[in-house]
Amino acid sequence: MKNQDKMKIAWGSHYVPGGRKGVLLVHSLGGSPIELRFLAHALGKDGYTVYCPTLPGLAGGTDVTGLSSWTDWYAALETAHDEISKQCDTVLVGGISAGTMLALRLAAMRPDGVQGLLLFSPTLWANGWAIPWYFSLFRLVKQKWAARLFHFKGREPHGIKDDRLRSFIVDALQGDNDAIEDFFGRGGGLVLEFRKLVRNVKPLLNKVKQHTLMFHPRHDDQSDLKNTMKIQRRLAGLVELHVLDDCYHMVTLDRQRSIVVERTTEFAARLTKRFEDAQTISSAGEGNLKEQGSAKT
């Protein structure tokens, strides 16, 4: 594809070629771009160039040593943003779960390069009803070497309320001798770096002035709705919040994904049109000034 040839697509990433309107999406902690594929293709049908990069260290199976840091993840996101910005006039940035923290940081650090935000199940800390109470004790761990001694196994329902979809995903991932809990698990080093990322992002939230769309399940199994409420109160821009009533954490895959897609594509169309109209008015104004200058001479 011609558009894809212009971009350096990271291995394992998901890319949908389109026009001059771009969307950059970030997967979850230990996840992959597959979580966002349904949404990416829906946006692609509307003419958007969509890039869901695999961020080394953040993606599952890309940091078996547990040595990557949140700054590595963010650097990879900046590179992806540079790539999509080369071919798009407007770029919306979004993420799911832990990926929202990286999206928020990018919006705060690059306000002119991010025209809007899409946040799906934003997470400051894993405190949903399926998270064991003793997970909070991990807050006492401060050093990376100690954190790497821990491994947190995943627990049902793994962020998916739809039984058939969850069974399909489990069957696709699980081998003959593999424990499915390990596929959905997280290493302690990964969790510690995410905690550091959140600590870095929190003071930046009041610098985020972009128009933001947020989704969060009322009964999230992984991160309580309080996560989203805290974030939206601190953001400096306009926020549109949708609380979902029939899905769990992975809102881009679960039962109400059609609602998520419909409202996201509508939001993206509304926002990009606003920027396109502003650019048209600005261009017309510059043209008038040039004409006036030519008439005086």
Distance between CA 201 and CA 104 in Å, rounded? 7
The answer to whether the beta carbons of residues 53 and 80 sit under 8 Å apart is yes
Per the structure, how many domains does the chain have? 1
pLDDT in tens, the chain (297 residues): 444 456 778 778 999 999 999 999 999 999 999 999 999 999 999 999 999 999 999 998 887 677 889 999 999 999 999 999 999 999 999 999 999 999 999 999 999 999 999 999 999 999 999 999 889 999 999 999 888 888 888 888 999 999 999 888 877 765 544 544 444 678 888 999 999 999 999 999 999 999 999 999 999 999 999 999 999 999 999 999 999 999 999 999 999 999 999 999 999 999 999 988 887 887 666 566 566 666 565
Distance between CA 125 and CA 225 in Å, rounded? 11
pLDDT at 280: 80
pLDDT at 278: 84
Residue 106's closest CA among 250, 240, 229, 212?
A: 212
Tell me the three-class secondary structure of the chain, residue by residue. CHHHHHCCCCCCCEEECCCCEEEEEECCCCCCHHHHHHHHHHHHHCCEEEEECCCCCCCCCCCCCCCCCHHHHHHHHHHHHHHHHCCCCEEEEEEECCHHHHHHHHHHHCCCCCCEEEEECCCCCCCCCCCCHHHHHHHHCCCHHHHCCCEECCCCCCCCCCHHHHHHHHHHHCCCCCCHHHHCCEEHHHHHHHHHHHHHHHHHHHHCCCCEEEEEECCCCCCCCHHHHHHHHHCCCCEEEEEECCCCCCCCCCCCHHHHHHHHHHHHHHHHHHHHHHHHHHHHHHHHHHHHHHHHC
Residue 36's closest CA among 95, 92, 81, 77?
A: 95
What domain range is 185 assigned to?
2-296
pTM of the model: 0.90
Distance between CA 92 and CA 90 in Å, rounded? 7
CATH code at position 286: 3.40.50.1820
- Work out the burial of residue 12: count CB atoms within 10 Å of its CB; fewer than 13 is exposed, 13-18 middle, 19 or more buried: middle
- Work out the burial of residue 261: count CB atoms within 10 Å of its CB; fewer than 13 is exposed, 13-18 middle, 19 or more buried: middle
Distance between CA 180 and CA 189 in Å, rounded? 20
pLDDT at 145: 86
The answer to whether the beta carbons of residues 34 and 14 sit under 8 Å apart is yes
pLDDT at 175: 52
Residue with tokens 């947020």: 214
The answer to whether the beta carbons of residues 76 and 52 sit under 8 Å apart is no
The answer to whether the beta carbons of residues 247 and 217 sit under 8 Å apart is yes
Residue 64 has which token pair? 């078996």
